Structures are given as C-alpha cells and as structure tokens.
Structure 1
Amino acid sequence: MAPQQSATTARRLLHHSRPPARKRDAPALFLVLIAVCSAVTAANIYLAAPLLTLIARDFGSTPAGVAWIASVAQLGYAVGLLFFAPLGDSVNRRRLVGALTLVTTAALVAGAAAPGTGALAVAVFVASAATVIPQLLVPLVAERAPAARRARHVGAVVAGLFTGIVAARVLGSLAGQALGWRWVFAGAAVLTLGLGLATAAALPTARRPRSGGPFSGLATLPGLVRHSPDLWRACLRQAGMFGAWSAVWTSLALLLTGAPYHLSTATAGLFGLFGLTATAVAPLAGGLVDRFGAAKVVRSAYAVAAVSVPLFWAGGRALWALFLAAIAVHAALVASHVANQTLALTTTSTPAAANTAYVVSGFAGGALASAAAGPAFGHWGWGGVCAVAGAWLLAGWGGTAVRRR
C-alpha cells in the first residue's frame, strides 16, 4: 500500500504542478488583449476631433461650426454607458461585446459615407454609444486581479485606453491628411470589427443571476451613488478632471490649425504624441494607488492639472508651453482616473453598475466642457477654452471639498 500511496501522491503533485504555469500565462495574455481592444475601441470616441478641419472643408463649413460633433461623441458614449455598461453585472459579456462590436462597426461605416454633418453626427453618436466595450472589460479585470495588484491591472487597461485616444489624434490626422477623413472612419471600422470579435471570443461565458429587466440596473445608479460617499466623490472629481482635459484637447486642433500657428492637420495631429505620457503614467499610478491609497494620488493629480491650465493659456502664443501643458494634463488625468476608477470598482458589491456611474459622470463632464469650449473659442479665443478648463477643475474639487456624512 505504501508504494501505491507514494505513486498516487506523486501523480497528484505532478498534476497540480502544471496548471499554475498556464494560469500565470493566460491572465497576462488576456490582459494584453483587453488593453489592445480598449485602445482600438476608445479611439472611436475621439475619431472626429482631429479631423474637424477636414470635415468642415468637405461640408463647406468652418472648424468652429462643426466642433459640436466632438461633444456629440462624448455625449453618445455617456448615454451608451448608462444603458449597456450595467449589464456587465448580469448578462453574458461575450454576447454583449460581440453585439456592440457589430453595431459600432456599422455606425462607423455609415459615418464614412455620411452626406452631411447631421448624418455624420448621428453615426458618431451611435458608434460612441455602442463602443462602451472597455468599460465592460475593466470590472472583469478588477475582479480577476489579486487585491494587492488590482490598481496595477486596472492601470494596464487604462494605459491601453489612452494609447487609443492618442492614436486617434495622431494616426487619424495623418491618415486624414493623406487619404481623407472618410477613409479614417472606414479603417476604424475594420479594426473595431477584428479586435472586438477576438476579445468577445476570449471572454468567459459565466454570468451572474439577474433579477428584473435587462436595464433594471440603470434605476439603481442614483441610489448607489447617494449611499456610497467614496463613489460619489470619485464621480464628481473625475467629472471635473475629465471636463478640463476635454475642453483643451478637443479644441486644440482649432488653435494649432489657426492663428498664430497655422499648422496642417497632419502636423497638428502629431501634437497628440504628448498624450503617450498616459501610457507611462497609468501603470505607475496603479502602483502608487496600491501603495499609498487613491485619495493621495487624486490630490496630487489635481495639483498637476491646476498647473497645466496657465501653461495652456501661455501656449496660445508659445509652443513650448503647450508641450509642457500637454504632458502635465495627461499625467494628471490618467493618475486621477486610475485612482478614482479603482475606488469605484471596489466600493460597492456591484462593480459594473458602480463603474457605470463613475464613467458616465466623467464623460458627461467631458461632453459639457467640450460643448462649452466650442463657443468659448469662437467668442474669446484660446483664453476662453482655458477658462472653461479651470472652471471644471474648480467645480470638481470644490464640490467634494466638504466631507459627506
């Protein structure tokens, strides 16, 4: 019996010694796929921003006259988050991601063929509303990550997301200058279809039990925010931070292609390379959150963002100031986002719904700031845009300065 027991024990040890190596590899590959998919899909939200000059020229308008399309994209994303992101707590993520991928692809193709600004705005709205895939995936990453490294994993996905935003500005403007803005939309459709379906195929099929209708989670969002002070604070602070970033970033092409710089669309798009700061900052911010907590990271991020506003104002005449401001505002935005989103994902028992409330708040703040920045640029120039950014920062921090009981 002893030899048999020894053999059985050896087989058990051998059996249990192999899977861990595969388990260590699979999450890393899975995280990379999610990060790349997030990059491609997030780029769709900002696809129109660097192409506004080309779109205006094609439709016989002015860049300021079509700037509202950029805010339509952010508003569409916020609406899509309200309806689709809470489903991550209850439905099959694989089917949902696959369906949203197909809708996004169809909308981008429609945008490429749009005969006017109205049709383009509708296509951009639908594409942005359906391209909420990253926010379905982030809660999954947070659930599967070890508690001690949760913020690092979230930061890795955020790095991919912001890399996509940079790519939308840089590669989109270069391709738009060379091929026309319609081919940029068509190329985005192809990339979205390929990465979206590949990610859907890799997702687990397990889902949580659902009570109520498919959109019942939407009704719980106000109460969820009201009863969670940490979530409420994260929502408001990120709305202020993202609004400040959106005001300057969606209007930057108008400054660079007009007086005093008069750059081409392609050259102005290269300015987005400063957004690569986000790719480096996100993993670092995740490590800092895991070590020091979210509150300290958010305070530091707001301080950096406050410094970036006067630098952006000076950048209306000095290109070096724009360089410094772009680095600072991206670092501040990403550090704040990683900290606030990690807090939102861990503060309630329904992470997908909490993440929905958080991201909707952020993008609603961004959409409102972008909508205000367009008229501000038209009336007061670049200084008006910087004033909008400063106002959003003050609102985001001042609204949470008093502790809630």
Structure 2
Amino acid sequence: MPSEATAARTSPRQVRRPPSALRDRILLPLIAVCTAVTAANIYLAAPLLPLIAHDFGSTPSAVAWVASVAQFGYAAGLLFFAPLGDSVSRRRLVAVLSLVTTAALAVGALAPGIAALAAAVLVASAATVVPQLLVPLVAERAPVDRRARHVAAVISGLFTGVVAARVLGGLVGQAFGWRAAFVGAAALTAVLGLATAAVLPVERRRREGPVFAGLAAMPSLVRRSPDLWRACVRQAGMYGAWSALWTTLALLLTERPYGLSTATAGLFGLFGLTASVVAPLAGGLVDRFGAAKVVRYAYLLAAVSVPLFWLGGQVMAALFVAAIVIHAALVASHVANQTLALTTTRSPAAANSAYVVAGFAGGATASALAGLAFTHWGWGGVCAVAGTWLVAGWGSTAVRR
C-alpha cells in the first residue's frame, strides 16, 4: 500500500494541470471574447458619425462614407490576410494583425481631418480579420461531435461585438468624445489580441508557393466542392436579405409614421443579442441533425420574417417580432454554413475566406439595392429585395450540381 506521504503527493488537490490542458480550457472563451472585440472595430465609426462630423465642422451625411470605407477595408483583409491561415503560423499572424489594428485605431484617434481618419479606419478594418483566422482553428481542434457548438461560440462573440460597437460605442462617444472611443478600442484590441496569440498552439508550417497562393486558389476551391459552393450561395442569400432589411430600417423608423430619433432607432441594434442565445442552440442542432437541415429551417424562418417586416411598416409590434426572427434565421444559417465550409475541403482557411467573402458580397449588393428601392418604392420595395435574395439563395442551390 502507498505511504501517507505518497498519497499526499498524489492527491487530486496536489496534482497540477498540464499547461496544454489549461490552455485548452481557456482557449475557446478567450477566442470568443477576442472575436467580439476585434469584430466591433469594423462598425466602430458608424454610431460616432454625428460626433465626428461636428468635430470636423461637417454634416453626418458628408462623413457617412467613412463607415463604407470600413466595409471595403474588411473585404480587402478577408481576401488577402484570412487565407494565410493555411500557410502561416496563426499565432504570429494574430499578434501582428492585432498590433497593426491597434496602431491604426490610435492614429485614427489623433486624426486631424476626415481623410486621415478614413485612411486609419481602412487599415484597421483590413487588419481586423482575426476572427476569420481563429474560426478554422476552433473547428480543427474541436471534438467531431461538438464542432458546430465550438464554432457557434465564436460566432456568438462576433455578433455580440457588432452590437457592442453600435450601442456601447455610441454611449462612450457621447460621454467622452469619439476620439476616446477609438482609444478604448485600440487598448482592448491590443490586450485581447496579444493575450489570444500567447495561448494559441505553436504551429510549424513550411510555406509552399507564393504567400498569397490561398487567394488565387479560392475560385477553384469553390468549383471543386459542391458543399462549399452551396454554403457560399445560401449564406449570400441569407445575409443579403438581412442586410437589405437591417441597413434601411433606420430610414423607416426616423420617417413617418414612426418619426423616432436616431438614438432611439439605434436601440433596435440590441435585437442583435438574439445571436448570443441562438448560436449555441444552432450549434447543438447542427451537431445532431446536420448542417443541411438547420439551413433549411433557417430559410423558412427568414421567409416568415419578410411579411412581418412588411407589416412592420405600420405596426411596431410586428417589427419587434420580425427583428428577432431574422436574427435567429441569420445566425442559425451562419453556424450551419460556416461549419460546412470549414470541414468540406483540406484548405479550411481559404474555404472560410471564400465563404465569408461570398456572404459579404451578397450583403453589400442587397444593401445597395435596398437603398434604391426605399427611395423609389418605400418600405415595400425593401421587403421585395429581401424576398428576392432569399429565393435566389435557396433556389439556385436546391438542385444538385
């Protein structure tokens, strides 16, 4: 029998957890928080536009293009930086991009004019693609039967960051000024980005071919994988429908019959917190029933939301319900489609980049058309654009290729 001294040395309270086990325990929560903080940088300027315009002696409409610059910067980052996750150490890449984002936000906080601010926002948004580097890593390391739930945790963080940028960014800017909001975002990005890089697993990779070979391979990757192609097209349709409705909702709320203030209309962004509840549930459903079935029901939910949004043109309660339903549909579809995109090829980073770019393209195009539709046909025209995007996204993938 072991001696008392030996038993004392080997008791559970005395056993230290190996560093790798401790790292695995904190890795997913830290990645989710880092995703929230970095994703918020893309939308940071949007709620601060009135304050920025006042500081530079301009009007909000004259500086609104700064928010669009952030979208273009993010798109460029997705194309050039996100595919590097297949060939470059993600630990080093996350650290470098976090520092670049921090520096760009700091420069933006000191910007003497709107052009300098726009340039800083462009660089910061291009470098803030850290979430799309981390999602493939989470999918790779997750147990097969819990993969979608782990991906859902990161997606939940992403949507939480989007909401925080719109709500908290506006509150901080109102209390301390828009420059303080940029400084705060820079500090959070540096702390969370470097902390996440420190706990990421060490990867020793030998790069073959040009640095941006992943970008060049994306079109052929989509052509060779019918599952990836379906995930891209279906999410483009879903995200396009959501973007058409969500980006023009403020126009509806600030005009007749509602006539709300811009600040009050902005509180509708809190409905984005639906993602925090739906994403883990959707992850469990994908693990249990498969991605295809979850996407199918997500599209049914989105189809129900369109007539509710149309009715919301006159009935506020219908808008409340529609906002919850469309967010639930978007997040469930995103969890399912992104899990499929990450597991259907041998190049998960490039596949994930193709998937996110496709969704972004669908959303940007639908938003532009929705703005024109609202100008010419009102809120009913916006709902028609959203419905058309859903039909196109599902109909073009319903038959086997």
- Shared fold, TM over 0.5: yes
| 1:116 Cα deviation after fit | 5.3
The equivalent position to 1:128 in structure 2, one of 125, 128, 132, is: 125
**Any idea what the Cα deviations from partners look like across 1:330-384, whole Å, max 9, x if unmatched?**
1111100100011011101111111111111111222222333344444444444
1:177 and 1:265 in contact (8 A); partners too:
no
Quickly say closer, same or farther: Cα 1:398–1:115, change in 2 above 3 A. farther
- The alignment status of 1:49 with 2:70, answered yes or no, reads no
| 1:65 Cα deviation after fit | 5.7
Quickly say closer, same or farther: Cα 1:392–1:128, change in 2 above 3 A. farther
1:237 and 1:397 in contact (8 A); partners too:
yes
Aligned to 2:25: 28
Letter in 1 for 2:71: Q
Quickly say closer, same or farther: Cα 1:105–1:265, change in 2 above 3 A. farther
Quickly say closer, same or farther: Cα 1:92–1:401, change in 2 above 3 A. same
Quickly say closer, same or farther: Cα 1:251–1:141, change in 2 above 3 A. same
CA distance in 2, matches of 1:338, 1:159: 9
- The alignment status of 1:330 with 2:327, answered yes or no, reads yes
Q: Secondary structure at the match of 2:260?
A: coil
The equivalent position to 1:197 in structure 2, one of 177, 181, 194, is: 194
| 1:245 Cα deviation after fit | 1.7
Aligned to 2:161: 164
Aligned to 1:271: 268
Structure 2 residues not aligned, in runs of 5+: 2-6
1:75 and 1:367 in contact (8 A); partners too:
no
1:51 and 1:172 in contact (8 A); partners too:
yes
2:23 and 2:199 in contact (8 A); partners too:
no
CA distance in 2, matches of 1:239, 1:66: 28
CA distance in 2, matches of 1:78, 1:337: 18
Which structure 2 residues correspond to residues 6-405 of structure 1 after superposition, within 5 A? 25-55=22-52, 67-114=64-111, 117-404=114-401
1:71 and 1:371 in contact (8 A); partners too:
no
Range moving further from structure 2, 226-235 or 371-380 = 371-380
| 1:231 Cα deviation after fit | 0.2
Letter in 1 for 2:123: V
CA distance in 2, matches of 1:322, 1:235: 28
Q: Secondary structure at the match of 1:207?
A: coil
Quickly say closer, same or farther: Cα 1:324–1:111, change in 2 above 3 A. farther
**Any idea what the Cα deviations from partners look like across 1:67-117, whole Å, max 9, x if unmatched?**
554443333222211111111111111211111112212322343444555
1:64 and 1:374 in contact (8 A); partners too:
no
2:47 and 2:169 in contact (8 A); partners too:
yes
CA distance in 1, matches of 2:22, 2:117: 43
Quickly say closer, same or farther: Cα 1:311–1:46, change in 2 above 3 A. farther
Quickly say closer, same or farther: Cα 1:74–1:388, change in 2 above 3 A. farther
1:306 and 1:390 in contact (8 A); partners too:
yes
Quickly say closer, same or farther: Cα 1:57–1:243, change in 2 above 3 A. farther
Range moving further from structure 2, 252-261 or 124-133 = 252-261
CA distance in 2, matches of 1:123, 1:260: 39
What is the total number of aligned residue pairs between the two structures?
394
Range moving further from structure 2, 258-267 or 286-295 = 258-267
CA distance in 1, matches of 2:222, 2:238: 18
**Cα RMSD over matched residues?**
2.8
Quickly say closer, same or farther: Cα 1:373–1:126, change in 2 above 3 A. farther
CA distance in 2, matches of 1:134, 1:110: 22
Quickly say closer, same or farther: Cα 1:116–1:227, change in 2 above 3 A. same
Q: Secondary structure at the match of 1:212?
A: coil
Percent identity at matched positions?
Answer: 75
CA distance in 2, matches of 1:397, 1:130: 32
Letter in 2 for 1:186: V
Q: Secondary structure at the match of 2:81?
A: helix
Q: Secondary structure at the match of 2:399?
A: coil
TM-score, normalisation: structure 2: 0.89
Q: Secondary structure at the match of 1:209?
A: coil
TM-score, normalisation: structure 1: 0.88
Letter in 2 for 1:305: A
Aligned to 1:6: none
| 1:61 Cα deviation after fit | 6.3
| 1:52 Cα deviation after fit | 4.4
Q: Secondary structure at the match of 1:74?
A: helix
| 1:319 Cα deviation after fit | 2.1
Structure 1 residues not aligned, in runs of 5+: 4-9
**Any idea what the Cα deviations from partners look like across 1:153-202, whole Å, max 9, x if unmatched?**
11111111111111112212323333444433332222112211111111
Range moving further from structure 2, 310-319 or 80-89 = 310-319
